[in-house]
Each structure stands twice: as structure tokens, then as C-alpha cells.
Amino acid sequence: MNSRELNDRAAWLRGPSAECSVVPERLEQPWRLVLLGPPGVGKGTQARLLTQRLGACHLSTGDVFREAKTRNERQQTLAMSAALNSMRRGTLVPEAIVWQVIRERASCLRCQGGFVLDGFPRTLAQAKVLKLLLENERLSLDAVVNYELPLAEIVSRLSGRRTCQSCKAIFHLTAQPPRTEGVCDLCCDALYQREDDRPEAITVRLNAYQSSTAPLIQFCRNLGLLTPVVASGSPEEIFRRTATALEKRRKFDSGSSVTSRKSARVWSPEMLACGGNESGNGNNI
Ligand code: AMP
């Protein structure tokens, strides 16, 4: 796997007034992916592995809300306080708030390194908003990866999950324990259990996922974008399956750096306006 410096995603996490510390490398053919799958299926871990390999940015809506939680209450907008209340209960954040969050961060969809969307879209209505946004930008998705896992395994993964409060690395009490209990292996900060990973919130989240995501999955299937991947086994096994599934759509690499290949075709909206199609499959979500 290529070792790239991971972007701190400041523009995504804190909004467009913040600047990312590492600007992703400009790619000739950036990957643009959406990850679907019930909570606990390992989307966050796979998103990190994918972004490392592909040079894309990890755009997680859950991370935007968790980042807002770290700000003091007087800095919260009313909308963000409402979003955080939904999150605590394990229910979906109201659509209008999610759309506002995404619209404010639309520049991240144009990121020159591509993106891996994780946690958005979660409903059919959100998928339609994303489709419109991408059409306006004349961008296409390469695939919607749908991670599948039996219910009992999902519950066990969620209740044992622990997250680093600083670097957001993910551990599991039994499947991937940290070297020292409660301490992150990577940055030595404390691990915590997300409020919405507590048993009372897990059932609510899984029900919300079931009812809101089924029509979304059908929508992506109809667009020819759905790429199912079995999410059992270790993160590395799931990643290999993801790579194999994506390889069937397009060569699975970082999409060629423009800076390292001076003669490479450089993307511009004008080229697309003349009938070109950047991702090659023409399927906007
Ligand atoms: P996640 O980290 O993706 O599991 O998201 C954590 C929580 O954030 C969810 O349980 C929801 O409350 C909220 N959330 C994240 N993304 C969305 C979304 N696209 N639509 C509605 N709520 C969301």
C-alpha cells in the first residue's frame, strides 16, 4: 500500500472557512466512491484504507457531527445542536441539516484527489441531492460499495468498538484490542466508546438504517453503481475484497498523479462539456 500523508480534512470537518493541512495530490483520474452498509460494518476503517491507497479524501458526515461536538456549546449553531441531539439518540439527523452540511462542503466533492463518501447518502432523498450536486459539477461516481454483514455480527462489532478521541483510529475490545487497555496504539491518547455505540442506541440505529437505506440501495443498483462486498473477516481481507470488486470497474490504483506525469491529460470542466466523461461510466448518482 502506498504510504501517503493523510489529509487532516479540515475543510470537510470544520467547513469551507478552514483549510486542509495537506492538499491531496492532483490526480488524472481521481476515484469518487460512496460507501454504504449498516453501522458497525467497518466503513470507517475501509474508508481510511481506501483513501490511503487512492489518495482520495475521507468525507464522513458522522465525523462532521462528532467534530462539532468537541466545540463548546456557545459555538454551536441551533442546527448543529439539533443534529447532535439526533446523533445521541441514534436517530438520523434531519434532512435539511444534512443537506446544509453537504452544500457548505461541496468544494470537497471537487477535491483534486477524489473522495470516499462515508455515511452520506443515507436516504433516497440524500442520494438525489448528491446526484444533483455531482451533475452540477459535471462529476461522476465510480462506484457505490455496499458492505454486507449478518445482524448478530454487526451488534457485536458495535458494542466492542472503541475510538481514539484524537486521531479517530478504531479498535475493538476483542477483535482488535489496543496494546494497552483504553490507550490508542498510534497516538497514545485515550480511547472512548461512542455514545451511539451503546446498546440502547444500537437497535435504534440499525432500524433506522434498515428502513431508510433499502430504497437507496435499489436506486444505486438501478444506476449500475452498486458494488456489493462481504464485510466479514479482518479489515485487510475486506479491503482485498473491495479492491477486487473495484478492479472490475476500473484499474485499482491511485488514478495517476498529474504532477508525476507531465504529459498526462489534465481534467477541466471544458473537456467534459465537449462530451468527455471523466470516470468513463457516465453514471452520476
Ligand atoms: P456514522 O459515523 O456514519 O455512523 O454517523 C453517526 C451518526 O451521525 C448517525 O447515527 C446519525 O445520527 C448521524 N449521521 C451521519 N450521517 C448522516 C446522514 N447522512 N444523514 C442523517 N444522519 C447522519
Confidence at residue 65, expressed as pLDDT on a 0 to 100 scale: 93
47 lines ligand 1 (CB under 6 A): no
Residue 163 falls inside a structural domain: yes
Same domain, yes or no, for 46 and 168? Answer: no
- Indicate which residue's Cα is closest to atom 8 of ligand 1: 62
- Beta-bridge partners for 35: 118, 145
Domain holding 228, by residue range, is 3-149+214-274
Catalytic residue among 122, 157, 162, 168: 122
**Which pLDDT value is given to residue 211?**
85
pLDDT (0 to 100) of residue 284: 66
87 CA to centre of ligand 1 in angstroms: 7
- 186-223 tens-digit pLDDT: 999 999 998 888 887 888 888 888 888 889 999 999 99
Asked if residue 72 and residue 174 are part of one domain, the reply reads no
* CA 21 to ligand 1 centroid distance, Å: 25
Question: Does residue 66 share a domain with residue 140?
Answer: yes
Average pLDDT over residues 20-43: 90
Residues 173 and 249 both lie in one domain: no
Ligand 1 near 76 CB (within 6 A) = no
**What is the share, in percent, of the chain residues with pLDDT greater than 90?**
52
- pLDDT of the residue at 263: 33
- pLDDT of amino acid 51: 92
Alpha-carbon gap, residue 74 to 199, rounded angstroms: 30
CATH number at residue 107: 3.40.50.300
Q: Please indicate, yes or no, whether residues 47 and 188 belong to a single structural domain of this protein.
A: no
Q: What local confidence, expressed as pLDDT, does residue 26 receive?
A: 87
Residue whose CA is closest, atom 2 of ligand 1?
A: 62
Is 48 considered catalytic here? no
Based on the fold, state whether residues 139 and 258 are members of the same structural domain. Answer: yes
In SS3 terms, the chain reads as CCCCCCCCCHHHHHCCCCCCCCCCCCECCCEEEEEECCCCCCHHHHHHHHHHHHCCEEEEHHHHHHHHHCCCHHHCCHHHHHHHHHHHHCCCCCHHHHHHHHHHCHHHHCCCCEEEEECCCCCHHHHHHHHHHHHHHCCCCCEEEEEECCHHHHHHHHHHEEEECCCCCEEECCCECCCCCCECCCCCCEEECCHHHCHHHHHHHHHHHHHHHHHHHHHHHHCCCEEEEECCCCHHHHHHHHHHHHHCCCCCCCCCECCCCCCCCCCCHHHHHCCCCCCCCCCCC
Kindly give the number of the ligand 1 atom that is closest to the alpha carbon of 89: 12
> Which has more pLDDT, 16 or 239?
239
Task: Please give the Cα distance from 14 to 11 (Å, whole number).
Answer: 6
Please check whether residue 282 lies inside any domain of the structure: no
Above 50 in pLDDT, residue 279? Answer: no
Same domain, yes or no: 177 and 165: yes
Q: Is 194 a catalytic residue?
A: yes
Q: Answer yes or no: 66 catalytic.
A: no
Q: How many domains does the chain have?
A: 2
User: Is residue 12 lining ligand 1, measured as CB closer than 6 Å?
Assistant: no
Q: Indicate which residue's Cα is closest to atom 1 of ligand 1.
A: 62
- The answer, yes or no, to whether residue 280 has pLDDT greater than 90, is no
State whether the beta carbon of 184 lies less than 6 angstroms from ligand 1.
Answer: no
69 and 163 co-located in one domain = no
Whether the per-residue pLDDT at 3 is higher than 90: the answer is: no
Mean pLDDT estimate for the chain? 85
User: Whose alpha carbon is nearest atom 14 of ligand 1?
Assistant: 62
Mean pLDDT across 275-282: 37
Residue 161 and residue 139 share a domain? no
Looking at the structure, do residues 90 and 223 belong to the same domain, yes or no?
Answer: yes
